[in-house]
């Protein structure tokens, strides 16, 4: 664990990607194979199955630290991370040890087979052998959320450096449904069988946001435009008479969307499509709110299947007849895609996402302005000659979104942030007017500069009217412009509506609270775009 | 019961028997000041009383003031109150203030730490009936490594930077922390200082405090010629144009807040060193116990949590009402 703790410390202490990559590459060169495999697993979002609840952890840690549970609970939001809070309150270890990362993971895996009362002494024993950083990492193995500034891409690059393999090949090897329990370092990384896992998706190519005018992209004839749909990015894989659906976050969603079982009736094996999963009604997507109830569910009730059936709006063909097409230019892939999907019957769960024709950038800008009428968020611009790259790369794929919707709202509650922002007020509740009353309608956390957060924090401290636990009611004085991507009905909220991706886009120092928008204004937006 | 020795007013802590305030935040006629940090020594009071050790810095910061010095332990009668100042271990010259009225003894801790940093006069427990304690770091997650450990950590970082041809830039508050750091480190090269730090150095040296040799960075200083240097500067200077002239550098910040990873990352420095001039959680318990006080008033920090904890431990505990900040421990980040 000391080696892994050292790796963590080196990564955590630097912002420089080169230093992080080097530290990881060193680790991949020197660590034992089982540790390397777990390291790869952890940095690609996999972790051992949880063996103890966080409630258990909190109770045991408080007891071991000799403090009441409430005191640990109160410390947690200030620290911002449970694994760290526990590591910090525990007394120093009384034994020395240097077991490997996989040893400790095996200890955790072994907990599943023993009764709860026997788990506690094992956890306490582990804490008693680990120093503060090791404990933090050990706790993280249990609580999950291993976010320490190492992206999967960076990890893959380091692994490429350490093994001498091509980064893209490795990225592909690391996709799919493996866990350290089902494979070995040798099989996953070293063995030369890229088709070992038939369910394996290709790394997604991600677009950048276009902030400059499209004219900066050069001649329009080099580009193709598509609608940017508001759904779930996914890959549909048909190989060997089985189908698999992957999200961009590399989650296997096959069971969640049983509609795609029928894809094999219309498409040949050896086909991989990239597109957007949307709820579909006849000729156009339904709003994102229709898709939302299906996202969190592993199994789907029949009623929901009827109310919000999904399809894939495909915009790229990555594999045809078992051949990887990613190096071919987009215009060729698109032609193959159109040919493949040309005569799809209406009941097929796949359709080609149509191209949006345009003569020049100015005309395209006018089309983009109508995106909401097509239930789209804007346009995607893709260079016709571009290969299908992996990860977020600048240059060939751009999302050109509509300007967000905005309202001016009054801040009425404030709460302190977590982790990095634990000492600042960063979580706010906003309200709009209904007659003389302010009706809360959204929370927002982001969008202000550090300086503005400092300023509002000082203000909140002096203008608190009432406290409800960690929440403070503040004098309704400040108006903020709230930007958001969508609006939908929500009976759970007092306002009757909910926003998508709300954030503070501007502090309206120039506006008095009376000048904020009204609930009727929001209802009008709901009627137009909900 | 008779009137309390100290009361809490909108100007700050007040002694009715002696008609004076302690570390008031609004202008008053007569102020007793625990130490020279900005949140304790404010401008605009009619008369100041502080230790002989603290006064030069207070004068340096506030300019022309009507001020009088007092030695540690010297008894002084002010109206109906007997007062004396006792070392708080927070920084050179810092004091706790003891106030006695009619046999009742109250002590205002100011800011304090119980470990001896080798530079400040070490904390002295003062037996009392009521103790008004700061609790900037009044949570069990705040425990400090020993000064020796932190010094070794900073020395190693400095040495590694020097070997790699990088300047070490250490952010620390110019009064107290900066001088503590320079005296506890093992020089791995020259120590350069920002003007704000050097000004405080000069005041302390003139008082007879012994500090290692430092070189103030002037506009014409050839910093590139000073290989393997450690630069000590206020944190705000590290992000400014001033910092850029040192070429390739590694940045560090020394504060108790560096105990928390989230805050360490928010600071955006390469390294965070956990070292504070405030008491950590065990230090607070130790100090409170050593006073023998039945009543504890808490201020300046996680007051709600800390007072609840003290009540559970059997103390009569209450929160000092403050108008300005402090109550969330956040502002204190600037004097850690
Ligand atoms: Zn102070
Ligand atoms: Zn202070």
- pLDDT score recorded for residue B75: 97
Q: Which A residues in the span 454-473 are in contact with B, Cβ-Cβ below 8 Å?
A: 457-458, 461-462
CA of B22 to the centre of ligand 1 (A): 14
Query: How confident is the model over B315-324, as a mean pLDDT?
Result: 80
| pLDDT over threshold 50, residue B328 | no
- pLDDT score recorded for residue B326: 39
Contacts of residue A227, Cβ cutoff 8 Å, sequence gap at least 6: A353, A354, A356, A371, A374, A376, A378, A379, A380
- pLDDT score recorded for residue B327: 34
- pLDDT score recorded for residue A335: 96
Cβ contact A462–B330 (<8 Å): no
Inter-residue contact A232 to A295 (CB < 8 Å): yes
Q: Which residue of A has its CA nearest to B157?
A: A13
Residue B156: Cβ within 10 Å count:
12
pLDDT in tens, A121-161: 999 999 999 999 999 999 999 988 777 778 888 898 999 99
Q: Which residues pair with A279 in a beta bridge?
A: A310
pLDDT in tens, A41-81: 998 888 888 889 999 999 999 999 999 999 999 999 889 88
- pLDDT score recorded for residue B332: 37
Least confident of A292-296, A387-391, B65-69, B99-103: A292-296
| pLDDT over threshold 90, residue A181 | no
Residue A343: Cβ within 10 Å count:
8
* Burial class for A437, CB neighbours closer than 10 Å (0-12, 13-18, 19+): exposed
Cβ contact A78–B139 (<8 Å): yes
Cβ contact B324–A85 (<8 Å): no
B268 interfacial to chain A (CB closer than 8 Å): yes
Cβ contact A461–B305 (<8 Å): no
Cβ contact A75–B268 (<8 Å): no
Give per-residue burial for A202-235: e unless 16+ CB within 10 Å, then b.
bbbbebeebeeebeebeebeebbbbbbbbbbebb
Contacts of residue B52, Cβ cutoff 8 Å, sequence gap at least 6: B69, B70, B71, B93
- pLDDT score recorded for residue A419: 63
- pLDDT score recorded for residue B330: 35
B263 interfacial to chain A (CB closer than 8 Å): yes
B140 interfacial to chain A (CB closer than 8 Å): yes
Query: How confident is the model over A18-34, as a mean pLDDT?
Result: 94
Q: Which residue of A has its CA nearest to B332?
A: A423
A29 interfacial to chain B (CB closer than 8 Å): no
Cβ contact B140–A89 (<8 Å): yes
CA distance B324 to chain A (A): 7
Inter-residue contact B169 to B246 (CB < 8 Å): yes
B302 interfacial to chain A (CB closer than 8 Å): yes
Determine which helix (DSSP H) or strand (DSSP E) holds A332, and give its type and residue range.
helix A330-341
pLDDT in tens, A105-123: 999 999 988 998 899 999 9
pLDDT in tens, A398-435: 999 888 889 999 999 999 877 666 778 989 999 999 98
Query: How confident is the model over B47-72, as a mean pLDDT?
Result: 96
Q: With contacts defined as CB-CB under 8 Å, which chain A residues touch B312?
A: 68
B246 interfacial to chain A (CB closer than 8 Å): no
- pLDDT score recorded for residue B263: 87
- pLDDT score recorded for residue B2: 67
| pLDDT over threshold 70, residue A356 | yes
Q: Interface pTM (ipTM) of the complex?
A: 0.92
| pLDDT over threshold 70, residue B335 | no
| pLDDT over threshold 50, residue A530 | yes
CA of A411 to the centre of ligand 2 (A): 31
Q: Which residue of B has its CA nearest to A62?
A: B140
Interface probe, candidates B39, B236, B263, B303, chain A, greatest A C-beta count within 10 A? B263
CA of A355 to the centre of ligand 2 (A): 64
Cα atoms found within 13 Å of the Cα of residue A113, Cβ hemisphere only = 4
Structure-block tokens of residue A260: 């795609």
| pLDDT over threshold 90, residue B324 | no
A71 interfacial to chain B (CB closer than 8 Å): yes
pLDDT in tens, A319-344: 999 999 999 999 999 999 999 999 88
A365-373: list long-range contacts, CB under 8 Å, 24+ apart.
A365/A214, A367/A225, A368/A400, A368/A402, A369/A402, A371/A227, A371/A228, A371/A402, A372/A402, A372/A528, A372/A529
Interface probe, candidates B166, B261, B336, chain A, greatest A C-beta count within 10 A? B261
A418 interfacial to chain B (CB closer than 8 Å): yes
Structure-block tokens of residue A16: 């420089």
| pLDDT over threshold 50, residue A370 | yes
Percentage with pLDDT > 90 across chain B: 81
| pLDDT over threshold 80, residue B173 | yes
Cβ contact B330–A68 (<8 Å): no
Q: Between these two residues, A166 and A345, which has the higher pLDDT value?
A: A345
Inter-residue contact B203 to B280 (CB < 8 Å): no
Q: Cα–Cα distance between A158 and A153 in angstroms, integer?
A: 9
Question: Band of the pLDDT at A242, cuts 50, 70, 90?
Answer: confident
Q: How far is CA B168 from CA A498, B149, B158, B258, B267, in A?
A: 50, 18, 6, 17, 16
- pLDDT score recorded for residue A420: 63
Q: Which residues pair with A391 in a beta bridge?
A: A205
Q: With contacts defined as CB-CB under 8 Å, which chain A residues touch B329?
A: 78, 423
CA distance B206 to chain A (A): 37
- pLDDT score recorded for residue A283: 85
Indicate the average pLDDT of chain A: 90
Q: Cα–Cα distance between A525 and A488 in angstroms, integer?
A: 9
CA distance B256 to chain A (A): 13
DSSP B123-186: P-----SEEEEEETT-STT--PPPHHHHHHHHHHHHHHHHHTT-EEEEE--TTTHHHHHHHHS-
Query: How confident is the model over B248-253, as a mean pLDDT?
Result: 92
B319 interfacial to chain A (CB closer than 8 Å): no
Cβ contact B262–A81 (<8 Å): yes
Among A298, A307, A332, A306, which residue's Cα sits nearest to residue A317?
A: A332
Residue A92: Cβ within 10 Å count:
8
Q: Which residue of A has its CA nearest to B263?
A: A420
Interface probe, candidates B266, B270, B311, chain A, greatest A C-beta count within 10 A? B266
Query: How confident is the model over B54-68, as a mean pLDDT?
Result: 95
Indicate the average pLDDT of chain B: 91
Q: Cα–Cα distance between B62 and A121 in angstroms, integer?
A: 58
- pLDDT score recorded for residue A206: 92
- pLDDT score recorded for residue A146: 74
């Amino acid at each position: 664990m000391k080696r892994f703790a050292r790796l963590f410390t080196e990564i955590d202490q630097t912002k420089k990607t080169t230093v992080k990559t080097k530290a990881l590459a060193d680790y991949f060169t020197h660590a034992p194979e089982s540790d390397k495999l777990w390291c790869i697993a952890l940095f690609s979002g996999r972790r051992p199955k949880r063996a103890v609840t966080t409630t258990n952890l909190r109770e045991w840690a408080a007891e071991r630290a000799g403090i009441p549970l409430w005191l640990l609970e109160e410390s947690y939001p200030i620290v911002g991370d449970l694994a760290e809070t526990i590591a910090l309150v525990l007394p120093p270890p009384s034994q020395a040890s240097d077991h490997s990362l996989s040893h400790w993971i095996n200890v955790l895996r072994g907990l599943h087979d023993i009764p709860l009362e026997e788990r506690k002494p094992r956890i306490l024993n582990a804490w008693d052998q680990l120093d503060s950083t090791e404990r933090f990492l050990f706790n993280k193995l249990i609580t999950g959320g291993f976010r320490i500034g190492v992206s999967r891409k960076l990890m893959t690059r380091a692994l490429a450096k350490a093994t001498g393999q091509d980064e893209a090949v490795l990225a592909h090897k690391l996709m799919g449904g493996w866990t350290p329990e089902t494979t070995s370092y040798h099989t996953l990384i070293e063995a030369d069988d890229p088709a070992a896992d038939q369910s394996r998706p290709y790394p997604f190519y991600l677009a950048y946001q276009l902030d400059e005018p499209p004219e900066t992209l050069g001649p329009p004839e080099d580009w193709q435009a598509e609608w940017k749909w508001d759904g779930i990015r996914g890959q549909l894989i048909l190989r060997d008479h089985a189908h698999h659906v992957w999200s961009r976050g590399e989650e296997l969603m096959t069971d969640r969307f049983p509609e795609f079982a029928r894809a094999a009736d219309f498409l040949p094996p050896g086909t991989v499509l990239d597109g957007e999963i949307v709820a579909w009604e006849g000729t156009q997507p339904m709003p994102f709110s229709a898709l939302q109830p299906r996202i969190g569910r592993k199994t789907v009730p029949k009623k929901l299947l009827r109310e919000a059936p999904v399809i894939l709006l495909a915009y790229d063909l990555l594999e045809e007849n078992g051949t990887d097409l990613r190096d071919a230019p987009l215009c060729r892939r698109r032609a193959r895609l159109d040919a493949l999907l040309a005569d799809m019957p209406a009941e097929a769960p796949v359709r080609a996402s149509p191209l949006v024709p345009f003569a020049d950038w100015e005309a395209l800008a006018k089309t983009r302005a109508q995106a909401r009428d097509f239930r789209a968020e804007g346009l995607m611009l893709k260079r016709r000659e571009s290969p299908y790259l992996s990860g977020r790369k600048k240059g060939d794929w751009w999302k050109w979104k509509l300007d967000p919707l905005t309202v001016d709202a009054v801040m009425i509650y404030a709460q302190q942030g977590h982790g990095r922002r634990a000492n600042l007020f960063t979580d706010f509740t906003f309200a709009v007017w209904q007659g003389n009353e302010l009706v809360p309608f959204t929370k927002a956390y982001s969008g202000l500069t550090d300086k503005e957060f400092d300023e509002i924090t000082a203000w909140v401290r002096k203008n608190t009217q009432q406290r409800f636990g960690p929440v403070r009611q503040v004098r309704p004085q400040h108006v903020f412009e709230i930007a958001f991507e969508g609006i939908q009905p929500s009976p759970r909220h007092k306002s009757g509506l909910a926003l998508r991706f709300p954030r503070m886009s501007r502090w309206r120092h120039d506006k008095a609270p009376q000048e904020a928008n009204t609930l009727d204004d929001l209802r009008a937006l709901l009627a137009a775009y909900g | 019961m008779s009137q309390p020795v100290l009361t809490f007013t909108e100007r700050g802590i007040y002694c009715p028997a002696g008609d004076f305030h302690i570390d008031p935040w609004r202008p008053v006629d007569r102020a007793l000041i625990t130490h020279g940090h900005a949140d304790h020594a404010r401008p605009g009071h009619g008369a100041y009383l502080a230790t002989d050790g603290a006064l030069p810095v207070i004068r340096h910061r506030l300019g022309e003031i009507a001020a009088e010095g007092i030695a540690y332990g010297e008894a002084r009668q002010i109206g109906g109150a007997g007062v004396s100042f006792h070392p708080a271990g927070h920084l050179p010259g810092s004091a706790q203030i003891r106030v006695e009225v009619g046999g009742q003894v109250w002590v205002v801790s100011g800011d304090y730490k119980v470990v001896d940093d080798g530079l400040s006069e070490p904390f002295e427990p003062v037996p009392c009936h009521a103790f008004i304690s700061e609790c900037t770091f009044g949570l069990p997650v705040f425990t400090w490594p020993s000064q020796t450990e932190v010094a070794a950590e900073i020395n190693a970082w400095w040495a590694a930077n020097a070997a790699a041809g990088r300047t070490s830039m250490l952010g620390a508050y110019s009064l107290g922390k900066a001088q503590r750091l320079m005296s506890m480190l093992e020089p791995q090269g020259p120590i350069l200082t920002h003007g704000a730090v050097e000004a405080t150095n000069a005041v302390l040296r003139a008082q007879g405090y012994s500090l290692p040799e430092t070189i103030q960075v002037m506009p014409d200083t050839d910093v590139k010629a000073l290989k393997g240097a450690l630069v000590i500067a206020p944190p705000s200077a590290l992000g400014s144009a001033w910092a850029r002239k040192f070429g390739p550098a590694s940045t560090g910040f020394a504060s108790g807040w560096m105990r928390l990873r989230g805050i360490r990352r928010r600071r955006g420095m390469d390294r965070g060193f956990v070292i504070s001039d405030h008491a950590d959680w065990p230090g607070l318990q130790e100090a409170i116990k050593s006073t023998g006080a039945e009543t504890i008033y808490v201020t300046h920090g996680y007051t709600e949590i800390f007072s609840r904890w003290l009540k559970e431990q059997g103390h009569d505990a209450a929160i000092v009402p403050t108008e300005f900040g402090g109550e969330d421990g956040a502002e204190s980040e600037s004097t850690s």
